[in-house]
């Protein structure tokens, strides 16, 4: 639906999306043609160019040992990150227009996004209710059957046997997805995909030179290189934003820590404490920014690093932005903050102020 980036689509939003598809299908003759662009010379030229580029890329992947090898060494991810970096730099420079972001940003208030029901928000009590249901489910099942099923699954995993049958048996015994995954993690470990963010900073000039100067000034003032932890908590797999923040922070002179997607709040806080991070940045596009930020702030206080500033980025409605700031988040960034150099300068100043306040 049109507002899915803000939250779960309301019934009206879902209906609107469906109606648009139905109008295209039944009020036009689009479905009477297999390909409305067939024979168009401009499209044919574009397709030919794309095929040439794709074949060249496939040849490169073959030379690396195939798709699996290219994934393992981080080649594919690094190409994606570099491509998105180039796109964002073009947007920043005004070379690529994104309506509503770097051009035509004026707009009238929309009745579709006003009012308390404009964005569907899952109430906090839903989580408690779901946990209660899960506990009730576990209490009523046959504990011995569950234990036997998990042991059979673990044996199959360790011995390299087919795990489909023991997985089905586990499901029938009432094993939860979390329990099933825990057994497999114990057997195989937890895969951490390449982030695509290299440790080597690009020597890009222009406006970034001023940012580097400011980051260096702050680093000198605090007596060590400013360290910035970028985190993706929860199950949110939308990593483009986090990757681009990490890349630009690295290029700006920050000491950057980024472990990729699907970290727990506890893991992020533990890393921040261990590494001595001067600032923690959370990238959240799952809609759970308030809950996750609160949990990270709570854990930071527990571990004695509550004075380290926390910043949050994502698709965050104004009301939630206000709530996050009131609860201790130092800064909130949304897609309207497309100028990454400005964000980097802001982060340097946030770190500087936080260190001054501790003295």
pLDDT in tens, 263-310: 999 999 999 999 999 999 999 988 889 999 999 999 999 999 999 999
Tokens of 130: 């779901």
Alpha-carbon distance of 283 to 298, in angstroms, equals 18
Question: CA separation (Å) from 292 to 6, 43, 48, 310, 335?
Answer: 16, 45, 46, 12, 19
User: What would the pLDDT profile of 19-46 be if each residue is shown by its tens digit?
Assistant: 999 999 999 999 998 888 889 999 999 9
The two counts, helices (H) then strands (E), for the chain are 14, 5
Tokens of 252: 């700006």
**Residue written as token pair 């992020």:** 268
DSSP state of 258: E
pLDDT on residue 205: 65
**Using H for helix, E for strand and C for coil, what is the string for 202-256?**
CCCCCHHHHHHHHHHHHHHHHCCCCEEEEECECCCCCCHHHHHHHHHHHHHCCEE
User: What would the pLDDT profile of 44-103 be if each residue is shown by its tens digit?
Assistant: 999 999 999 999 999 999 999 999 999 999 999 999 999 999 999 999 999 999 998 999
More confident residue, 85 or 3: 85
Alpha-carbon distance of 353 to 84, in angstroms, equals 31
Question: CA separation (Å) from 78 to 6, 70, 194, 240, 244?
Answer: 28, 10, 8, 11, 11
pLDDT on residue 27: 96
User: What would the pLDDT profile of 239-265 be if each residue is shown by its tens digit?
Assistant: 999 999 999 999 999 999 998 999 999
What is the number of other CB atoms lying within 10 angstroms of the CB of residue 112? 13
Out of 5-9, 111-115, 235-239, 345-349, give the one with best mean pLDDT. 345-349
Topology of domain 207-358 in CATH is Rossmann fold (3.40.50)
More confident residue, 122 or 38: 38
Alpha-carbon distance of 94 to 312, in angstroms, equals 25
Nearest to 208 by CA among 348, 96, 356, 350: 348
Say if residue 225 is exposed, middle or buried (CB neighbours under 10 Å; 0-12, 13-18, 19+). Answer: middle
Alpha-carbon distance of 70 to 75, in angstroms, equals 5
Question: How are beta strands 255-258 and 227-231 bridged, if at all?
Answer: parallel
User: What would the pLDDT profile of 133-191 be if each residue is shown by its tens digit?
Assistant: 999 999 999 999 999 999 999 999 999 999 999 999 999 999 999 999 999 999 999 88
User: What would the pLDDT profile of 188-225 be if each residue is shown by its tens digit?
Assistant: 998 888 888 987 778 776 789 999 999 999 999 999 99
What is the number of other CB atoms lying within 10 angstroms of the CB of residue 301? 13
DSSP SS3 for 282: strand
What is the number of other CB atoms lying within 10 angstroms of the CB of residue 316? 24
* pLDDT of 6 above 80: no
**Residue written as token pair 């926390």:** 310
């Amino acid at each position: 639906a049109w507002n899915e980036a803000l939250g779960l689509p309301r019934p009206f939003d879902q209906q609107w999306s469906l109606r648009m598809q139905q109008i295209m299908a039944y009020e036009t003759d689009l479905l009477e043609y297999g390909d409305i662009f067939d024979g168009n010379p401009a499209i044919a030229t574009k397709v030919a160019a794309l095929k040439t580029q794709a074949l060249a890329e496939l040849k490169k992947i073959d030379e690396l040992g195939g798709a699996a090898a290219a994934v393992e060494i981080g080649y594919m991810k690094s190409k994606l990150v570099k491509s998105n970096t180039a796109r964002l730099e073009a947007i920043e420079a005004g070379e690529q227009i994104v309506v509503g972001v770097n051009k035509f940003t004026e707009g009238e208030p929309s009745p579709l996004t006003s009012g308390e029901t404009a964005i569907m928000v899952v109430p906090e009590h839903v989580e408690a209710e779901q946990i209660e249901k899960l506990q009730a489910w576990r209490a009523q099942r046959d504990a011995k059957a569950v234990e036997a099923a998990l042991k059979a699954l673990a044996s199959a995993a360790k011995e390299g046997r087919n795990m489909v049958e023991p997985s089905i048996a586990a499901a029938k015994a009432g094993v939860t997805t979390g329990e099933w995954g825990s057994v497999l993690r114990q057997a195989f470990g937890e895969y951490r995909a390449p982030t695509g963010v290299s440790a080597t900073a690009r020597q890009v000039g222009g406006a970034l030179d001023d940012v580097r100067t400011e980051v260096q000034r702050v680093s000198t003032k605090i007596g060590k290189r400013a360290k910035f932890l970028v985190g993706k908590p929860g199950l949110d797999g939308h990593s483009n934003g986090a990757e681009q923040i990490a890349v630009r922070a690295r290029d700006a002179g920050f000491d950057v820590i980024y472990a990729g997607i699907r970290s727990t709040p506890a893991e992020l806080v533990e890393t921040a404490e261990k590494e001595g991070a001067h600032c923690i940045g959370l990238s959240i596009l799952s809609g759970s920014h308030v809950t996750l930020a609160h949990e990270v702030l709570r854990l930071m206080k527990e571990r004695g690093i509550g004075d380290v500033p926390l910043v949050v980025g994502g698709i965050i409605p104004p009301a939630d932005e206000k709530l996050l700031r009131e609860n201790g988040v130092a800064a909130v960034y949304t897609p309207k903050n497309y100028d990454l150099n400005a964000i980097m300068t802001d982060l340097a100043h946030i770190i500087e102020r936080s260190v001054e306040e501790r003295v």
